[in-house]
């Protein structure tokens, strides 16, 4: 009997380790042969720990499982969900980037290859650098870290730069609240990131790569490090990548708790060992990045999507999506939701569908008041914007941003003034200090929101003006995008900003 | 957390072990903090000398990052998530309760040195908040009792 118990952080936070230990103990007590595989998460967090049991006739899913359920689980009498693929939340998805996450043993390279892994890298190894870059361009892939910049164009800039050394840097500093796709992928299918980075290396002529993972993700760090060691031992990384005669190797680096290091230039400074302050652009990192060399800086999901593009072809990937948003979006449904987790689907589903149908509304059972899309720098979308399709341009037109595609749901008890104040406070705490609109503006923003709360009638106009300055004058997205949550809260939920004033009148 | 008392020899050995890396500063600081539970003052000139930097530059890096501490933490470290997704499911009330029970404020350590409490902005457990971490143990859908019990274990 083979039993799958996720090693994913969310599953662990909900008791997966105790369940795995109980299964081992019970199996030993009964003297039955049970192999426990610690897989990644299938992404249905409300069912975690989600345990799958394979008795030789396919995998049957159970969850949430507690240690007390283990005797019934091994007896086969515990009530389950059937196959994971038949659970509606899973069945509705289009899994490309996450095709293997939760399915395979994360650090077993043979298991990875048996499920389509390395096919993309082998294909890329037979292509020239420009051909590889052209394939990525044709797929329509855009940066999944938030900015949505076309990946192929970024790669082309690095590919065409003349330099002795070039680098691939993976931004795994996933600090945005409501996002966990990077973490899940690194914990559940680390080889797809390694494969994506190797393809990027072959494409642009870089021989060295770094994954910069935030220190808040100890499980992801451990799994990635092990996977890199396995990949090196098996010749996926090293002087002769899958027998191509071309070299690429990589290393895992750990951040130190600074949110701003998720910004690419700040990340590069941090990787170099400096304070994580933002650099002015130009020069672009593609031309002068890590240690002044041409550098591809891509998010985990962007790079981990590259293998499937090469495995199935750019046209296959490009066929999914909406307008200029091609392929799939990895929605992370979070906050106050009934069914939270990772939902990969073609771009184009509406926000309302994701929140009401997929997530099933709030966990508290109260009406949804707002959904913050795209992390702490994303706008609070009110219910009357729920018809907005999930696409880069569509969200932009609706006054928001899709960012890393995290959806944080709030019920009607949420206080939007408090959330707007928190956004400014967070910006003040995490500002790198380099530019004035962000460093000083965020502090003044907190004070101005306090004035609104105290009933100062002139403060709202001042806040609007301040937000304009921050938006136009900040060096990076921290100061530049903090106005999104603040102004969306003020614009869409004016009642929350008027209570104190009316009470005073 | 195992804490050794810092000596210049061990600090120099840690620095020497990492200085061949591209961008060795953060790996060095992480290794020093892992060994001593903090970045001792005497590490700053030692790193500066080895990496050919000014002491102020090294201090600047140490003080920039939330993770690096100059004074030792309590025997257990509780991190409570304060970010939006956890706020949506009651993290603020949870924090207030835990802080009140311990009788300390954010970044504080209890008088007996048992527990330090730190805010954290996202542990990536946004679909099962409120989230907490006690040393390396992650807790989803956390309540005050569970967090305090884990810290007392």
Per-residue pLDDT tens digits for A227-240: 999 999 999 999 99
User: What is the H or E stretch that residue B47 is in?
Assistant: helix B43-51
The answer, yes or no, to whether residue A500 has pLDDT greater than 60, is no
> Quick one: A420 exposed, middle or buried, by C-beta within 10 A (0-12, 13-18, 19+)?
buried
CATH number at residue B126: 3.40.30.10
Task: Let me know whether A264 and A156 are in one domain.
Answer: yes
CATH number at residue A385: 3.10.20.600
Q: Which residue of B has its CA nearest to A172?
A: B124
What is the distance in angstroms between the Cα of A258 and the nearest Cα belonging to chain B? Answer: 6
Contacts of A179 in chain B (CB under 8 A): 122, 124, 126
Q: Do A10 and B140 touch (CB under 8 A)?
A: yes
Task: Let me know whether B95 and B121 are in one domain.
Answer: yes
Cis check for the bond before A231: say yes or no (omega within 30 of 0). no
B99 and A CB contact within 8 Å: no
Q: What's the pLDDT score for residue A165?
A: 97
CATH number at residue A224: 3.40.50.11540
Residues 379-398 of A with CB under 8 A from B: none
Q: Which residue of A has its CA nearest to B91?
A: A335
Residue A98 covered by a domain = no
B66 and A CB contact within 8 Å: yes
Q: What's the pLDDT score for residue B1?
A: 47
- Contact assessment for residue A276 and residue A431, using Cβ atoms and an 8 Å cutoff: no
Task: Let me know whether B33 and B88 are in one domain.
Answer: no
B107 and A CB contact within 8 Å: no
Give the confidence band of A147 by pLDDT, cuts at 50, 70, 90.
confident
A406 and B CB contact within 8 Å: yes
CB-facing half-sphere around the CA of A449: CA atoms within 13 A? 25
Task: Let me know whether B15 and B36 are in one domain.
Answer: yes
* Sign of the alpha-carbon dihedral angle for A105, A109, A114, A116: positive
Task: Let me know whether B87 and B129 are in one domain.
Answer: yes
d(C-alpha B70, C-alpha B40), whole Å: 6
Cis check for the bond before A227: say yes or no (omega within 30 of 0). no
B142 is in which domain, residue-wise?
Answer: 76-152
Give the number of beta-carbon pairs within 8 Å between A and B: 153
Task: Let me know whether A123 and A271 are in one domain.
Answer: yes
What is the distance in angstroms between the Cα of B75 and the nearest Cα belonging to chain A? Answer: 19
Task: Let me know whether B49 and B111 are in one domain.
Answer: no
Average pLDDT over residues A354-361: 97
Residues 6 or more apart in contact with residue A451 via CB below 8 angstroms: A459, A462
Cis check for the bond before B43: say yes or no (omega within 30 of 0). no
Q: Which residue of A has its CA nearest to B139?
A: A13
Per-residue pLDDT tens digits for A98-109: 999 999 999 999
| Phi/psi of residue A417, nearest 5 degrees | -65, -40
B113 and A CB contact within 8 Å: no
| Complete DSSP assignment for A423-450 | HHHHHHHH--SSSHHHHHHHHHHHHHHH
Residue A100 covered by a domain = no
Task: Let me know whether B88 and B50 are in one domain.
Answer: no
Task: Let me know whether A205 and A160 are in one domain.
Answer: yes
> Quick one: A425 exposed, middle or buried, by C-beta within 10 A (0-12, 13-18, 19+)?
middle
Task: Let me know whether A13 and A25 are in one domain.
Answer: yes
Residue B1 covered by a domain = no
- Contact assessment for residue A158 and residue A295, using Cβ atoms and an 8 Å cutoff: yes
The answer, yes or no, to whether residue A505 has pLDDT greater than 80, is no
Q: If you compute the radius of gyration of chain A from its CA atoms, what whole number of angstroms results?
A: 23
Q: Which residue of A has its CA nearest to B24?
A: A273
Per-residue pLDDT tens digits for B59-78: 999 999 999 999 999 999 99
Predicted ipTM > 0.85: yes
| Domain edge (last residue) among A390, A411, A432 | A411
CATH number at residue A482: 1.20.1440.230
Structure tokens at A97: 């980037």
Residue A237 covered by a domain = yes
- Give the mean pLDDT of chain A: 96
Average pLDDT over residues A328-333: 96
d(C-alpha A442, C-alpha A478), whole Å: 10
Task: Let me know whether A332 and A386 are in one domain.
Answer: yes
CATH number at residue A69: 3.40.30
Q: What's the pLDDT score for residue A243?
A: 96
Task: Let me know whether A183 and A63 are in one domain.
Answer: no
| Domain edge (last residue) among A380, A411, A442 | A411
Q: Do A215 and B67 touch (CB under 8 A)?
A: yes
Per-residue pLDDT tens digits for A252-301: 999 999 999 999 999 999 999 999 999 999 999 999 999 999 999 999 99
Per-residue pLDDT tens digits for A434-468: 999 999 999 999 999 999 999 999 999 999 999 99
Task: Let me know whether A359 and A240 are in one domain.
Answer: no
The answer to whether B128 is annotated as binding is: no
Bridging pattern class, strands A328-335 and A341-346: antiparallel
Q: What's the pLDDT score for residue B3?
A: 61
Residue A92 covered by a domain = no
DSSP letter, residue A335: E
Q: Walk across the sheet containing A368-373 and list its strands.
A: A341-346, A328-335, A406-411, A368-373, A380-382
A180 and B CB contact within 8 Å: yes
Domain tally, chain A: 4
Per-residue pLDDT tens digits for A110-134: 999 999 999 999 999 999 999 999 9
The answer, yes or no, to whether residue B117 has pLDDT greater than 70, is yes
What is the distance in angstroms between the Cα of A425 and the nearest Cα belonging to chain B? Answer: 11
Give the confidence band of B2 by pLDDT, cuts at 50, 70, 90.
low
Bridging pattern class, strands A167-172 and A208-213: parallel
B123 and A CB contact within 8 Å: yes
Per-residue pLDDT tens digits for A84-103: 999 999 999 999 999 999 99
Residues 9-38 of A with CB under 8 A from B: 9-10, 12-14
Q: What's the pLDDT score for residue A498?
A: 84
CA distances from A464 to A1, A469, A470, B84 (A): 62, 9, 10, 22
Task: Let me know whether A113 and A228 are in one domain.
Answer: yes
Q: What's the pLDDT score for residue B153?
A: 83
Residues 19-58 of B with CB under 8 A from A: 21-27, 29-30, 51
Per-residue pLDDT tens digits for A187-242: 999 999 999 999 999 999 999 999 999 999 999 999 999 999 999 999 999 999 99
Q: What's the pLDDT score for residue B116?
A: 97
d(C-alpha A173, C-alpha A190), whole Å: 15
Bridging pattern class, strands A368-373 and A341-346: unpaired
A153 is in which domain, residue-wise?
Answer: 109-319
Q: Do B140 and A14 touch (CB under 8 A)?
A: yes
What is the distance in angstroms between the Cα of A448 and the nearest Cα belonging to chain B? Answer: 21
First to last CA, chain A: 71
Task: Let me know whether A313 and A339 are in one domain.
Answer: no
A468 and B CB contact within 8 Å: no
Residue A397 covered by a domain = yes
Q: Do B65 and A183 touch (CB under 8 A)?
A: no
Burial A5-25 (b: 16+ CB within 10 A, else e): bbbbbbbbbbbbbbbbebbee
Residue A62 covered by a domain = yes
d(C-alpha B63, C-alpha B59), whole Å: 6
Q: What whole-number percentage of chain B has pLDDT above 90?
A: 95
B140 and A CB contact within 8 Å: yes
Q: What's the pLDDT score for residue A502?
A: 53
Domain tally, chain B: 2
> Quick one: B71 exposed, middle or buried, by C-beta within 10 A (0-12, 13-18, 19+)?
exposed
Contacts of B51 in chain A (CB under 8 A): 273
CA A292, distance to chain mean position in Å, is 27
| Phi/psi of residue A335, nearest 5 degrees | 85, -140
Task: Let me know whether A383 and A461 are in one domain.
Answer: no
Task: Let me know whether A136 and A180 are in one domain.
Answer: yes
The answer, yes or no, to whether residue A486 has pLDDT greater than 80, is yes
Residue B69 covered by a domain = no
Q: Is the pTM of this model over 0.90?
A: yes
Residue A262 covered by a domain = yes
Query: Who among A13, A336, A337 is closest to B131 (CB)?
Result: A13
User: What is the H or E stretch that residue A471 is in?
Assistant: helix A459-473
Per-residue pLDDT tens digits for B43-60: 999 999 999 999 999 999
Contacts of B64 in chain A (CB under 8 A): 258, 275-277, 432
Query: Who among A251, A332, A363 is closest to B89 (CB)?
Result: A363
Q: What's the pLDDT score for residue A245?
A: 96
């Amino acid at each position: 009997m083979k039993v799958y118990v996720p090693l994913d952080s969310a599953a662990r936070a909900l008791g997966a380790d105790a369940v795995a230990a109980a299964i081992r103990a019970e199996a030993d007590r009964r003297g039955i042969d049970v192999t426990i595989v610690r897989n990644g998460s299938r992404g249905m967090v409300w069912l975690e720990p989600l345990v799958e049991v394979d008795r030789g006739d396919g995998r049957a899913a159970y969850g949430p499982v507690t240690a007390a359920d283990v005797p019934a689980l091994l007896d086969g009498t515990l009530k389950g969900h059937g196959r994971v693929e038949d659970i509606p939340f899973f069945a509705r998805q289009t899994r490309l980037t996450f095709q293997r996450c939760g399915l395979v043993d994360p650090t077993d390279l043979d298991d990875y290859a048996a499920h389509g892994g390395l096919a993309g890298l082998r294909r890329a190894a037979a292509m020239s650098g420009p051909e590889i870059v052209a394939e990525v361009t044709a797929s329509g892939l855009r940066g999944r870290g938030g900015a949505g910049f076309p990946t192929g164009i970024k790669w082309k800039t690095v590919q065409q730069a003349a330099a002795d050394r070039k680098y691939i840097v993976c931004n795994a500093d996933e600090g945005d609240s409501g996002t966990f796709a990077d973490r899940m992928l690194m914990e559940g299918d680390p080889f797809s990131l390694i494969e994506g980075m190797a393809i990027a290396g072959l494409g642009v002529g870089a021989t060295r790569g770094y994954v910069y993972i935030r220190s808040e993700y100890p499980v992801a760090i451990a799994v990635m490090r092990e996977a890199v060691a396995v990949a090196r031992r098996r010749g996926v990384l090293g002087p002769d990548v899958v027998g191509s005669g071309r070299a690429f190797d990589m290393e895992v680096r750990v951040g130190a708790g600074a949110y701003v290091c998720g910004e690419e230039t700040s990340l590069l400074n941090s990787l170099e060992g400096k304070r994580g302050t933002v650099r002015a652009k130009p020069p672009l990192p593609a031309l002068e990045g890590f240690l002044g060399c041409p550098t591809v800086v891509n998010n985990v999901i962007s790079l981990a999507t590259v293998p499937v593009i090469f495995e199935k072809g750019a046209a296959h990937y490009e066929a999914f999506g909406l307008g200029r948003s091609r392929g799939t979006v990895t929605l992370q449904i979070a906050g106050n939701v009934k069914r939270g987790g990772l939902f990969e689907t073609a771009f184009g589903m509406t926000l309302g569908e994701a929140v009401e149908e997929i997530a099933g509304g709030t966990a508290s059972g109260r009406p949804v008041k707002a959904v913050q899309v795209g992390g702490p720098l994303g706008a609070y979308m009110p219910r009357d914007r729920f018809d907005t399709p999930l696409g880069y341009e569509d969200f932009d037109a609706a006054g928001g941003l899709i960012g890393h595609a995290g959806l944080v749901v709030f019920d009607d008890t949420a206080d939007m003034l408090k959330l707007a104040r928190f956004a400014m406070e967070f910006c003040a705490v995490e500002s790198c200090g380099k530019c004035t609109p962000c460093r000083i503006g965020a502090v003044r923003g907190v004070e101005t929101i306090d004035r609104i709360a105290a009933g100062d009638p002139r403060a709202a106009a001042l806040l609007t003006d301040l937000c304009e300055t921050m938006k136009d004058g900040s060096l990076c997205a921290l100061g530049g995008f903090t106005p999104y949550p603040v102004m969306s809260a003020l614009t869409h939920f004016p009642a929350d900003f008027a209570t104190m004033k009316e009470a005073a009148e | 957390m195992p804490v050794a008392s810092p000596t210049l020899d061990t600090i120099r050995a840690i620095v020497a072990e990492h200085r061949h890396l591209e961008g060795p500063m953060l790996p060095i600081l992480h290794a020093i903090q892992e060994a001593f539970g903090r970045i001792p003052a005497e590490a700053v000139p030692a790193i500066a000398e080895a990496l050919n930097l000014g002491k102020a530059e090294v201090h600047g890096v140490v003080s920039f990052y939330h993770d690096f501490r100059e004074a030792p933490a309590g025997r257990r470290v509780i991190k409570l998530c304060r970010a939006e997704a956890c706020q949506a499911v009651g993290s603020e009330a949870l924090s207030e309760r835990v802080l009140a029970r311990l009788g300390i404020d954010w970044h504080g350590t209890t008088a007996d040195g048992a527990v330090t409490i730190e805010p954290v902005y996202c542990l990536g457990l946004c679909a099962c908040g409120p989230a907490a971490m006690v040393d390396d143990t992650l807790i989803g859908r956390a309540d005050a009792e569970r967090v305090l019990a884990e810290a007392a274990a």
